[in-house]
Amino acid sequence: MNANTVKEECSSDQKLVLVFFGSPHKNGTSAKLLDAFLAPFYGNAEVRIIHSYEQKIAPCLGCNVCAAEQTCSQRDFDGLDLLIRRADAIVVATPVYNLGFPAPLKAIIDRTQRYYAARFFLGVQKPIEKHKTAALLVTCGSSEPEDAALLYRQLERVFSVMNTKLKGMTVWADTDADDGHSTFEKARKAARDLALAILCEM
């Protein structure tokens, strides 16, 4: 199935794909994997890429304001909140840093505490009304699959209160070896297959 086939078979309504990009390198391995993933969406959906290193989102303060009302004591996340609510699909593209997400992306993820609090403190069954499909794209210098699996488990838990289903993950591993040239083609194909599956669900 190619992008043209998907466009014919699926809804033609313009959808929003919201990308949270975790790398400080806009032309690095994470960007290359993301480009492969996004190729089927161009012309079929609006794509918005949020560069986490440019957002300057403050860490969660654990102040519990969100446990009393559906808001946050820090307003720097409000614009992202609006985009999240509007999105039809969410993509997280990131390298692995010390078995976790890079700090600026982790700050964004932690600020989704407002949705957890809405669900479990305020009793809001769907803190995010619009259902979404999500994908995780991971690059790692190591060849160990556990590196990416740790990120997947974290994100799956986060999305569980955001009315968002994590459809799958594509991993480009062993990028430290020959700049990942020998392993990219497999990752590129997997990313495209995942994208096409999500595009047809949107």
Q: 74-110 pLDDT, tens per residue?
A: 999 999 999 999 999 999 999 999 999 999 999 999 9
**pLDDT above 70 coverage of the chain, percent:** 94
* Confidence check: pLDDT of 123 > 60: yes
* Confidence check: pLDDT of 11 > 70: no
* Structure letter (DSSP) for residue 127: S
Q: Rounded to an integer, what is the distance from CA 170 to the centroid of its chain? A: 12
Mutual angle of helices 29-38 and 181-201, in 10-degree steps: 40
Q: Which two tokens stand for residue 120?
A: 């479990």
Instruction: Give the pLDDT confidence score for residue 67 in this predicted structure.
Output: 96
Residue type, 45: A
Beta bridge partners of 89: 17, 133
Kindly report the length of the chain: 202
Q: Which two tokens stand for residue 13?
A: 């309504």
* CATH superfamily ID and name for 14-201: Flavodoxin domain (3.40.50.360)
Distance (Å, rounded) from C-alpha 129 to C-alpha 38?
25
CA-to-CA dists, residue 131 to 84, 162, 200, angstroms: 11, 8, 15
Instruction: Give the pLDDT confidence score for residue 192 in this predicted structure.
Output: 97
Closest CA to 34 of 138, 134, 165, 127: 138
Q: Which is it for strands 45-51 and 15-21: parallel, antiparallel or unpaired?
A: parallel
Determine contact, residues 194/37, Cβ cutoff 8 Å: yes
CA-to-CA dists, residue 50 to 5, 42, 43, 176, 189, angstroms: 28, 16, 19, 25, 24
Task: Identify the band that residue 178 occupies on the pLDDT scale cut at 50, 70 and 90.
Answer: confident
Instruction: Give the pLDDT confidence score for residue 181 in this predicted structure.
Output: 87
Instruction: Give the pLDDT confidence score for residue 2 in this predicted structure.
Output: 44
Which uninterrupted H or E stretch holds 7?
helix 3-9
- Which of the pair, 61 or 13, is modelled with greater confidence? 61
The pTM of the full predicted model, rounded to 2 decimals, is 0.92
Distance (Å, rounded) from C-alpha 157 to C-alpha 142?
24
Residue type, 180: G
Determine contact, residues 187/33, Cβ cutoff 8 Å: yes
Q: Which is it for strands 89-95 and 15-21: parallel, antiparallel or unpaired?
A: parallel
